Amino acid sequence: MYKKVTTLTEFILKEERRFTGTTGSFTLLLTQIENASKIIASHIKKTGLVDILGLTGQKNAYDEEVQRLDEFSNHLLVDILSESGQAHAIASEELDKPFFIEKHSGNYTVFLDPLDGSSNIDININVGTIFSIYRKNKLFLEPGMRQVAAGYILYGPSVMFVYSCGNGVNGFTLDPSIGSFLLSHPNIRVPKQGNIYSVNEGYFPLFSKKDQDYISSFKTGVKPYKARYVGAMVSDVHRTLLKGGVFMYPSDTKNPQGKLRLMYEVNPMSFIMQQAGGLAISGNINPLEIKPNDFTQRVPVVMGSREEVERYMKL
């Protein structure tokens, strides 16, 4: 029996038609990210077979070792988006400074984490790409609430493209037989409550008393919570989005400002989580309300099921 299947491109086009005066530019931009993700996925599948595995010997803007696939993914995304004619500027975790496009300049600014969780590459664990899109503006750095769209690509047993442009969250799974992302998770809603917590407990002694008490509360009660932590934000947040619970990366005595980047990781993931009915908090405010002061700014974050985050806020 024939069943209508919606592709990612069809879905984006349909969404763009909701807005008056659209030109198709936004669809082209997302389509270029989609195309790049397919190429990255193909290379990730070959990491144990070709010489693109391991470190480059270089460090990125955050003094972190750059994996070869990090470098490849970054060059690919920057090149494709630069040539698309739809981007005005591109900022990436792997670049020392934002890249402004003079030729073929478009109407959008894109922030990228080309390969989130890349330290997992050598041990064959899930990684992902995170993107965040803003309209072209004289103010290069804007609060996350001004995002036009945000999303991530998860490179796992299957490849998933999850995104929101402010009208809910939808997930698409790549069908390798036809090379298209197909709508597999329409209108994703995070459960209001969950029993999974995701945090790097190796830093527990360095956390604040509030964070320690919150984490300790998961281990008491009739049904203690389950601990799950991959070490790639895309993977951990994706699980929280679908299964419920809470993901947290709080500040600690060694990282008093937190460790995750506001523009590249926290803003896009907070946007998605809130569009799916969940909550996100940074300190005592919504991270989407933070006025960024630097494109490398770091902040703490707790996000996930509404009731779980509200319980954290009450502590």
Do the Cβ atoms of 86 and 108 come closer than 8 Å? Answer: yes
For CATH 3.40.190.80, list the domain ranges present in the chain: 196-314
CATH superfamily, region 8-185: Fructose-1,6-Bisphosphatase, subunit A, domain 1 (3.30.540.10)
Residue 233 CA from chain centroid, whole number: 7
The residues, any chain, with a CB within 8 Å of residue 130's CB and separated by 6 or more, are 112, 113, 116, 150, 151, 152, 233, 234, 264, 265, 268, 269
Do the Cβ atoms of 203 and 231 come closer than 8 Å? Answer: no
Is residue 22 scored above 90 in pLDDT?
no
| Residue 241, beta-bridge partner list | none
Closest CA to 8 of 43, 38, 51: 38
Confidence of residue 287 (pLDDT cuts 50, 70, 90): very high
Give the pLDDT score at 124: 75
Confidence of residue 85 (pLDDT cuts 50, 70, 90): confident
Section 133-141 average pLDDT: 89
Q: What is the pLDDT of residues 227-253, one digit of tens each?
A: 999 989 999 999 999 999 999 999 999
Whole-prediction pTM value? 0.91
For CATH 3.30.540.10, list the domain ranges present in the chain: 8-185
The residues, any chain, with a CB within 8 Å of residue 208's CB and separated by 6 or more, are 250, 251, 252
Give the pLDDT score at 121: 73
Looking at CATH, the fold of the domain delimited by 196-314 is given as: D-Maltodextrin-Binding Protein; domain 2 (3.40.190)
Q: What is the pLDDT of residues 23-82, one digit of tens each?
A: 778 889 999 999 999 999 988 887 665 555 556 566 665 565 556 788 889 999 999 999
Tokens of 207: 């956390």
**73-77, 135-139, 151-155, 185-189, range with the lowest pLDDT:** 135-139
Please compute, for residue 201, the number of CA atoms within 13 A of its CA located in the half-sphere on the CB side. 13
Q: How far apart are CA 243 and CA 39, in angstroms?
A: 29
Task: State the Rg of the chain over Cα.
Answer: 19
